[in-house]
Every structure is written in structure tokens, then in C-alpha cells.
Amino acid sequence: MVSATVAAGVRRVRVPMPGGGLPFSNAYLIEDAEGAVHVVDPGSPTRAARDDLRAALRGARVASIVLTHLHADHAGGAAALRAATRAPVLVHEREAEALRTLAAGLPAPDLDAWGVPAERRPELLAAAVVPAGPDPVVPDATVADGEHLPVPGRRLRAVWTPGHTPGHLCLLDEEAGVLFTGDHVLPTVNPGLGLGGPTATNPIDDYLAALDRVAALDDGALRPLPGHEDPFTGVRERCAVLAAHHRRRADEVAAQAGGTVWDTAATLTWTGGWDALSGSTLLSALRQTAQHRAR
């Protein structure tokens, strides 16, 4: 399958991901009234990803490239696609700021303060080095919450959904009844939070508020088009499940008196078990635990 139609004028491309985690990210090709195509999340910065996307585009005129967020599995292919098509790259204004911060380099996580045992430190330090991929894109323009994207003939509204990253965007096409959810809401995966550099606000609080916003958009027939896995239904129900997960986690963390972030994390329930976490998944688990303790 190169691409499949998932809504009127919207095709989905399953773009392969390197690394043995999730098998693919979803790029969406939105056709406008002038016959041009707008690409949501071109995918990973690999040759396989680029070839599959190009095959799906088949010489179409690309008018813009919209990124739900800065992670390499969504935004990594944006620079190459822009070079090939001259289409501008659009992100939320807060994500543009996060891209600049990440490009300048982040301090390593404070593994001492987290109480991480010496033998687990190398994998965490290695995982902390590449939050935005090897070549973060410099966007051409930014969009603000509530703004409509420059897609002729469609009303595609930017919905700011911080949490996974500071400027994560969902895109609502009310007429088509679809919501591009990026990594804010996935059908079965619990998105990691606070994965776009430091923020003045707690990413868990931001995320819970953004889940409420997205749930409120669902009239019962809204079809979410996620950044991974398959299009699904029931976005309001899924938001409730994700919110319950974080509230339960908050209670678990609150029940732990004292100890380090490492001690607390080791007592929590993790999908696949604590012992299965390593590298970036372990780093994400520790960050999330630290965020809960900081609330």
C-alpha cells in the first residue's frame, strides 16, 4: 500500500520508522481546491521514509508542509521535502521556539538528582542526546491556536495541544469531520509527555487540559487521524482513558513518600513492565515520574 484515502480529499501514507519501536508514522496528504497537496508530518529522516512519501506524492504539487510536532519521526523528513518542493514548513509558534531551544542543545538530565544507578547512566545519556533528530528543521512560518491553515477550499483549524511537546498541534477539518491528532491522542499507545525541552508549565497539567479541549471537539462522529497506528473512532472516550491513566499515575506517585525519582519509577506500573524499559523509553519513564513529583 502506498497510500489510502481515509476521508474526502485526505490520503494516509504509512511511513516506515527506523529503530524497532513503533513500525510506522502516518503522513497525511490533504488535497486543496486548486489541486495542490498539503503534507501533514512527512515522517522520519531516512531514505526508506522519503522514498515511500515521494511514491505517494507521485509528482503532486506540494503547497505546504505542516508539522504536528518537532519529533524526528514526524518532522525529520521536512527539510528534504521542502528542498525538493519549495513548500513552506509550518509549525505552532511555541514549537518553533522549542526547535530553537533544542537546536542550541539541552543540558543532560540530572541523573544524580534522579538517583539513577551508575550502570544505567550511559544508556540514558545516549538517549538524551537526540530529542529532535539529527537535523531539526527551521520552520518558514508559524500558526497560532485557532488560526486556519492556508489550504484553499478547506477550513483546517489549528488546535494547540501542548503536553507531548510544548507546541504540539492537532488539526481540525470540521466539514470533513476529521481531526489530525499527531501524537496527542493515539488509539492504544500512551504518548510520553514533556518530550520537547523545558517548559514553564508542567507538561502533565498542559496535557490534561489539552485532552479536555480535544474531547470537547468530538460531536460523536469525529474521526481521529493519528500520527501512529490506524485511524479510529471515539476520540472523546480515548481522551478519557488517557486522562484516567495520568490521574491514576498521579495517585501512585503521591502514595510514595520520599525516595528518589528512580525509586518511585521502579514501583509504578509500566506497559510491558519496569524491567523492559531501556534507553529512550526508560528516560521517558523517569522524566514522567519527575514531572508527576513536581506537580
Nearer to Zn ion, 21 or 177 (CB): 21
Rounded distance between C-alpha atoms, residue 67 and residue 176, angstroms: 20
Rg, C-alpha atoms of the chain:
19
C-alpha of 291 from chain center: 18
Rounded distance between C-alpha atoms, residue 138 and residue 176, angstroms: 30
Listed in sequence order, the residues at least 6 apart from 112 whose beta carbon sits closer than 8 Å to its beta carbon are none
Is 41 among the residues that bind Zn ion (CB under 5 A)? Answer: no
Sign of the Cα torsion 295, 201, 273, 183 reads positive
Which residues between 157 and 176 bind Zn ion (CB under 5 A)?
none
Choose one: 41-49, 73-81, 237-245, 253-261; the region binding Zn ion (CB under 5 A).
73-81
Least Å distance, CB 69 to Zn ion, is: 8
Least Å distance, CB 121 to Zn ion, is: 26
Among 31, 73, 95, 206, binds Zn ion (CB under 5 A): 73
Least Å distance, CB 164 to Zn ion, is: 8
Nearer to Zn ion, 25 or 289 (CB): 25
Least Å distance, CB 44 to Zn ion, is: 9
Give yes or no for a contact between 90 and 66, defined as CB atoms under 8 angstroms apart. Answer: yes
Nearer to Zn ion, 14 or 154 (CB): 14
Nearer to Zn ion, 223 or 228 (CB): 228
Nearer to Zn ion, 95 or 183 (CB): 183
Rounded distance between C-alpha atoms, residue 83 and residue 90, angstroms: 14
Nearer to Zn ion, 43 or 109 (CB): 43
Is 183 among the residues that bind Zn ion (CB under 5 A)? Answer: yes
Choose one: 71-79, 111-119, 137-145, 281-289; the region binding Zn ion (CB under 5 A).
71-79
Give the count of alpha carbons within 13 A of 146, CB side only: 0
Choose one: 37-45, 69-77, 157-165, 203-211; the region binding Zn ion (CB under 5 A).
69-77
Listed in sequence order, the residues at least 6 apart from 6 whose beta carbon sits closer than 8 Å to its beta carbon are 12, 28, 178, 223, 225, 231
Least Å distance, CB 41 to Zn ion, is: 8
Rounded distance between C-alpha atoms, residue 58 and residue 80, angstroms: 16
Sign of the Cα torsion 60, 155, 40, 180 reads negative
Choose one: 46-54, 65-73, 198-206, 240-248; the region binding Zn ion (CB under 5 A).
65-73
Nearer to Zn ion, 32 or 73 (CB): 73
Is 32 among the residues that bind Zn ion (CB under 5 A)? Answer: no
Q: How many residues bind Zn ion (CB under 5 A)?
A: 2
Least Å distance, CB 74 to Zn ion, is: 5
**All 3 cell numbers of residue 94?**
511555541
Least Å distance, CB 77 to Zn ion, is: 13
DSSP one-letter string for 74-96: HHTTHHHHHHHH-PPEEEEHHHH
Least Å distance, CB 105 to Zn ion, is: 22
Cβ atoms within 10 Å, residue 134: 8
Residues that bind Zn ion (CB under 5 A): 73, 183
